[in-house]
């Protein structure tokens, strides 16, 4: 994935992030990876991984998902001594800067406010923000809870946390998550019931975007809720069947879309590029899907529609297994070994094959 660090440094400095003629060059402007932020004790291992594996492989974009796993001081109820804090974030930012890697911190917004029977820290500390308070005991029968986007206090808290994390990471971009939102416009929510899910979703995107833009920060997000799962045949997970898809035409176009597909290489990056968004394809465990997604990006970049070509940024590997297991699997592969079966090894192998395919594109040209 990744083009030259000099090219990327120039793109970061440009207001359009990755626009202009450079985006149509053979080298992909974005060669990235999405990792879960480690606990405080594993920060040194992450620093070594950034300076070693990521730099050696030409990675130029690191989306680091902190979530609420940060030792926040702006909101004392979110303090966590076992999580990275301001000094740790500064060290991570310095390592990325040293190696020409853009650091993009992430907190999942709107959805993903629980996992299995456990609520996430936002709803633990502020249960009043729940879109469905009192419903679904122990989260039985649902995937993940959402916060209510119309609660009058939720953004005061959320923006404090986002601002602190962005400042600590010295970041010029922030990933807001926003994927797999299944609970929205709940009929029992006193604020959201009866409202259009697309308008609610778009309204939250616009609010987050406006806050980030005001502080000079570019918004990134997952793209699945903008895709019509029924019309495309993609279904309810990698696309939306709960009415949010029309929101794609209600939000600013300077958001970078992370277009994730894990089971099949759907050609949806083309859809986002045609809509005016910059887009990166995001695979996970299946090498054939990763290579297919890369092929779609390369085809857009080589196509006759030069405006769309400039918006097809590259690829970002997702991992979904925790930093330490992924790093261990990667090092095992690098040493010529065979990692244990499961998500870490599959993601590491997929990443290696994706990097190799993207490297071939650099050598031969798009």
Q: What is the pLDDT of residues 162-181, one digit of tens each?
A: 999 999 999 999 999 999 99
Number of domains in the chain: 2
Task: Give the pLDDT score at 276.
Answer: 98
Task: Give the pLDDT score at 249.
Answer: 98
Q: Note the pLDDT tens digit of each residue in 62-90.
A: 999 999 999 999 999 999 999 999 999 99
Q: Note the pLDDT tens digit of each residue in 111-151.
A: 999 999 999 999 999 999 999 999 999 999 999 999 999 99
Is position 333 within any domain? no
Is position 275 within any domain? yes
Residues 182 and 238 both lie in one domain: yes
Is position 237 within any domain? yes
Tell me the residue length of the chain: 366
Residues 155 and 300 both lie in one domain: no
Please compute the mean of the pLDDT values over residues 298-327 and round it to a whole number: 97
Task: Give the pLDDT score at 360.
Answer: 65
Q: What are phi and psi of 147, to 5 degrees?
A: -85, 155
Task: Give the pLDDT score at 16.
Answer: 37
Residues 275 and 190 both lie in one domain: no
- CA R_g for the chain: 19
How distant, in Å, are the alpha carbons of 96, 169, 257, 294 from that of 11? Answer: 16, 19, 17, 21
Is position 91 within any domain? yes
Residues 2 and 108 both lie in one domain: no
- 43-52, 92-101, 311-320, 333-342: which has the minimum mean pLDDT? 333-342
Residues 131 and 209 both lie in one domain: yes
What is the reported pTM?
Answer: 0.92
Confidence of residue 21 (pLDDT cuts 50, 70, 90): very low
Give the three-class secondary structure for 190: coil
Confidence of residue 359 (pLDDT cuts 50, 70, 90): confident
Residues 164 and 230 both lie in one domain: yes
Q: Are strands 118-119 and 114-115 parallel, antiparallel or unpaired?
A: antiparallel
Please compute the mean of the pLDDT values over residues 275-293 and round it to a whole number: 98
* Domain boundaries, position 352: 1-31+255-322+343-366
Q: Please report the DSSP string for 71-136 in residue order.
A: --SSSGGG--TTS--HHHHHHHHHHHHHTT-EEEEEEEESS--EETTEEPHHHHH-GGGBSSTT-S
Residues 93 and 237 both lie in one domain: yes
Give the three-class secondary structure for 158: helix
User: Considering 223, 252, 281, which residue would you say is the last residue of a domain?
Assistant: 252
For residue 326, pLDDT beyond 50: yes
Is position 292 within any domain? yes
User: Considering 252, 284, 305, which residue would you say is the last residue of a domain?
Assistant: 252
Is position 336 within any domain? no
Task: Give the pLDDT score at 364.
Answer: 45
Residues 309 and 209 both lie in one domain: no
Is position 330 within any domain? no
Q: Report percent pLDDT > 90 for the chain.
A: 89
Residues 44 and 25 both lie in one domain: no
Q: Please report the DSSP string for 42-68 in residue order.
A: GHHHHHHHIIIIIHHTT--EEEEE-TT
Q: How many CB atoms lie within 10 A of CB 311?
A: 28
Is position 337 within any domain? no
Residues 174 and 217 both lie in one domain: yes
Query: Any idea what the CATH number is for the domain that residue 185 is in?
Result: 3.20.20.80
- Average pLDDT, whole number, for the chain? 92
For residue 23, pLDDT beyond 70: no
Please compute the mean of the pLDDT values over residues 234-244 and round it to a whole number: 97
Residues 60 and 193 both lie in one domain: yes
Task: Give the pLDDT score at 26.
Answer: 56
How distant, in Å, are the alpha carbons of 15, 118, 287 from that of 148? Answer: 32, 18, 37
Bridge partners, residue 177, by sequence: 109
User: Considering 232, 252, 272, which residue would you say is the last residue of a domain?
Assistant: 252
Residues 154 and 238 both lie in one domain: yes
Task: Give the pLDDT score at 340.
Answer: 86
Please compute the mean of the pLDDT values over residues 218-235 and round it to a whole number: 98
């Amino acid at each position: 994935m990744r083009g030259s660090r000099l090219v990327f440094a120039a793109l970061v400095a440009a207001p359009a992030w990755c626009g202009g003629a450079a985006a149509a060059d053979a080298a992909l402007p974005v060669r990235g990876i999405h990792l879960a932020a480690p606990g405080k004790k594993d920060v040194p291992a992450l620093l070594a991984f950034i300076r070693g594996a990521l730099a050696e492989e030409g990675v130029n974009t690191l989306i680091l998902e902190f979530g609420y796993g940060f030792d926040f001081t702006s909101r004392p109820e979110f303090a966590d001594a076992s999580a990275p804090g301001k000094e740790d974030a500064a060290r991570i930012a310095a390592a990325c800067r040293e190696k020409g890697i853009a650091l993009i911190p992430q907190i999942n917004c709107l959805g993903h406010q629980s996992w299995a029977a456990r609520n996430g820290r936002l709803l633990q500390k502020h249960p009043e923000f729940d879109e469905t308070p009192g419903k679904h005991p122990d989260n039985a029968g649902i995937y993940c809870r959402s916060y209510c986007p119309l609660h009058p206090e939720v953004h005061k808290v959320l923006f404090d946390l986002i601002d602190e994390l962005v400042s600590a990471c010295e970041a010029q971009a922030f990933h807001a998550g926003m994927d797999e939102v299944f609970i929205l416009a709940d009929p029992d929510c006193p604020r959201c019931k009866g409202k259009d899910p697309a308008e609610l979703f778009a309204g939250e995107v616009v609010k987050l975007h406006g806050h980030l833009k005001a502080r000079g920060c570019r918004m990134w997000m997952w793209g699945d809720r903008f895709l019509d799962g029924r019309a495309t045949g993609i279904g309810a997970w990698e696309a939306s069947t709960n009415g949010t898809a029309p929101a794609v035409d209600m939000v600013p176009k300077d958001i970078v879309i992370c277009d994730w597909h894990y089971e099949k290489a759907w050609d949806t990056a083309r859809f986002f590029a045609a809509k005016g968004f910059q887009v990166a394809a995001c695979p996970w465990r299946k090498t054939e899907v990763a290579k297919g997604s890369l092929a779609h990006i390369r085809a857009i970049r080589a196509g006759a529609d030069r405006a769309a070509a400039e918006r097809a940024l590259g690829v970002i590997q997702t991992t979904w297994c925790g930093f330490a297991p992924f790093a261990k699997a990667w090092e095992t592969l690098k040493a010529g070994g065979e990692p244990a079966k499961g998500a870490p090894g599959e993601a590491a192998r997929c990443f290696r094959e994706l990097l190799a395919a993207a490297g071939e594109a650099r050598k031969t040209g798009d």
